[in-house]
Amino acid sequence: MALDRWVALVLLGICMVYGYTAWFTMDATLPPIMKRLAVWPSSFPKVLSIAGIVLCLIVLSGIEKGEEKIGDIDYRRLHEYNLGQAIALLALMVAYALLLRPAGFLLATSGFLIGGSVLLGERRWITMIVVASIATIGIWYLVQEVLGIFLRPLPFFLGT
């Protein structure tokens, strides 16, 4: 079985556990007044689990490949792929998660976006910095002001 099908099989198991949790565990702890609402806190996880299960089944059945044979990932030739780039991107994600609180959302997110684009091969520095800054400030504004969820915008030593 190809690597994409193994990944789909693992993700199918994860989606099924996630769906079980959303359908049975989360709904059991709701107070009675919340059960009368049209949209429950578990509604989005239910949709995600169903979508994940359907997509995993599509990959497992091979429908997405169609008539055209797409080259499978050969696990015996992993050294030929850009593993260094993928591992560096994963390390950048971990660094972003660890720096989010101490460095603040604006600095950590813009650093992650700029670092990720440099890692993936972008060399237009001005465009990269402008796009990362607009995206970071836009997301911060939406989360902070529109949704009302507090995100520390600046590093902790600069105050709130």
Residue spans of the domains in the chain: they are 3-69, 82-158
Q: What is the mean pLDDT of residues 112-137?
A: 91
| pLDDT tens string 96-124 | 999 888 888 889 999 999 999 999 888 88
pLDDT for 129 beyond 70: yes
Query: How confident is the model at residue 151, as a pLDDT?
Result: 75
| pLDDT tens string 10-43 | 999 999 999 888 888 877 777 777 777 777 777 8
| pLDDT tens string 45-85 | 889 999 999 999 988 887 766 555 556 666 677 677 777 88
If one compares 149 and 135, the residue with the highest pLDDT of the two is 135
Under 8 Å between Cβ of 2 and 72: yes
Burial level of 155, CB count in 10 A (0-12/13-18/19+)?
middle
Q: What totals of helices (H) and strands (E) does the chain contain, helices first?
A: 6, 0
